[in-house]
A and B are shown apart, each in its own frame.
Chain A
Amino acid sequence: MAEHILVYVGHRNEQVIRPSLEALSEARRIADANGFSVSAVVVGVEGNDLPSECAYYGADTVYVIRDAALRQYSSDGYAQALKSIVDELNPLIMLFSADSMGKDLSPVLAAKLEAGLATDCTGIWIDDGHVNVKRPMYAGKAYATVRFKATPQLVSLRPKVFDLGERNAKRRAEVIERDLGTQEQDLRAHVIDVVQSGKQQLDVSEADIIVSGGRGLGGQEHFDIIEDLADTLHAAVGASRAAVDAGWIDHQHQVGQTGKIVNPTLYIACGISGAIQHQVGMKNAKFIVAINKDPDAPIFQLADYGIVGDLFEIVPALTKKLKEVVQ
């Protein structure tokens, strides 16, 4: 009997949470290397699009929990639903993505199962059925290798670290529908609304390119030049703590120790000096560009490419040139 890897594939309003597909892709890779089978579990969807996506990204089986009371997210409600699948399937490993839903759900489930959970992992491998993970600690100033001693082994994977696998629209999975009879009154907490922050914007934790502004911008109105460059590059807008604390931009955009840890392909830091707490948030970017008028700014030690100069001259000029090039 093949061992199972169970993957929670999350969604909001039937839109898949993309990092979940990264987790599913990684599950497929592990399964192929070890002869395991992959099951996905989806909760609270009405249609079949999401179960099909799970199949296309490598699930052999998809459990679909249709309870009406779970249409809206509830951490205790979803954790209870997942427990019923774990009890039935007895998976060796369960994967989540460490996005906000995964980080909410996985510890509640781990406590229910009295299982070990390793969160926000950047590497995973198996030895003799034991999961080993690499995960950052002390805001990424150290990395721990952690080995599981008991099953089930629950792991959440850091978004944008694991590659999305091939999407094969011809792949089919066995779909198993369940209604667990969840009642509204059983749920301890309910999500009753989801409200977009400000304008519809790409979140820094999901972006391949981030253009980030800091204290050097001098004021809220100057974030315009950051946004223009971001728009031109189809990038997300990021910010240092200084800019957020000054009230120039919402905390959602903050990159750093008390903001978000990001993993983009390219991070462009404008008017950001590069304090250690900011560095821990962005030093995993594949490429870093820094623009700052202070040649001694610590950010230049981290950057692959730096331009020393006035960002009010450089950033708009860069945007203008990029627009020409892209044409």
Chain B
Amino acid sequence: MNIVVCVKQVPNTETKIRIAEDGLSIDSANVDYVISPYDEYALEEAIRVKEQQGGEVTVITVGDEDPKGILQKCLAMGCDQAIHISDERLNGSDSLGIARCLAGALQQISFDIVFFGQQGVGTDCSQVGPMVSELLGLALVNVAKELKLDGTHVTAKREIEGAWEKVVCELPVAVTAQKDLNEPRYPSLRGIMQAKQKEIATKTLDDLGLAADAVGPSAVKLEISKMELPSPRKSGEIIDGASTEEKIEKLIQKLHDEVGVI
């Protein structure tokens, strides 16, 4: 089985975000980039499918920040080869542009299943996985909590509000991973050593047969006109009192008078 997983580099979730001087992006100085958390569940599922069904896992990432660190981690976890799509003509692409790049790369590989995280915790658009599924005419299991493969038949559980949907489809399929789809492994020491022998291929738009005006800034349908920090919350108060009873009474009074919920 040929398995692909698409990952994205994002700022570490602990990062204190600052706005860049251009006012249109975040300041990337001193930002520690990591694999987007949801992509880790995607990676783990891809590797499990390989372990159960045989085959190979290819990991793909798009972008200019040096992804060597994260791709090495993916290879160390158990991916077999990596592709880095890198082209400065991609700066300022929107989700559709990125989806077209990934679709272009996927079209050059024969694959049965492609995994994504359900959203990248950078721009948080939640679009690329479903867009790729549409561009390539794949069945889509979005926000997957559980995945079962039986030959070419896929049965999955997809998370919705307060419930889950049972989804069935045939391969090839695009799956976006939700938290707790599995428990991602830590790379083993052996995996880390083996990763150094595995191939990381760099591809440009020309390698993918894509025109810059199909995927780059001239193709975008929307653009950021401003980036700003959220307004901080007003600071609150610690309710004091001689006893728990007194504090609770004060709180209930506030909930009544100021919050209006009782």
Q: Tell me the A residues contacting B by CB distance below 8 Å.
A: 12, 73, 75-76, 79, 99-101, 103-104, 106-108, 110-112, 114-120, 132, 135-150, 153, 188-197, 200-203, 205-206, 208-209, 233, 244, 251-252, 254, 257-259, 265-266, 276-277, 283, 286-289, 295, 300-309, 313-314, 317-318, 321-322, 325-326
Contact = CB atoms under 8 A, between A and B. Distances in A.
Contacts of A305: 236-237, 239, 251, 254
A144 B226 contact: yes
Identify which of B14, B15, B124 gathers the most chain A CB atoms within 10 Å of its CB.
B124
B30 interface: no
Interface stretch (B55-63, B77-85, B200-208, B217-225): B217-225
B235 interface: yes
Contacts of B261: 208-209, 233, 265-266
B227 A143 contact: yes
Contacts of B130: 75, 104, 107-108, 111
A199 to B, nearest CB: 10
Identify which of A188, A288, A306 gathers the most chain B CB atoms within 10 Å of its CB.
A188
B166 A76 contact: no
Given A116-B220, A120-B124, A192-B168, A265 B226 contact: no
Identify which of A251, A258, A277 gathers the most chain B CB atoms within 10 Å of its CB.
A258
B41 to A, nearest CB: 9
B211 interface: no
Contacts, number: 260
Contacts of A194: 160, 163-166
B115 interface: no
A276 B121 CA distance: 14
Contacts of B258: 287
Contact of A314 (B38, B122, B244, B260): B244
A326 B255 CA distance: 12
B224 A191 contact: no
Given A149-B221, A307-B247, 10 more contacts: A75-B142, A107-B128, A108-B134, A117-B127, A119-B127, A191-B166, A303-B236, A305-B236, A321-B245, A322-B262
16 contacts: A103-B142, A104-B143, A107-B128, A108-B133, A119-B126, A137-B122, A137-B123, A138-B122, A142-B19, A143-B229, A145-B224, A148-B222, A189-B169, A191-B167, A314-B247, A317-B248
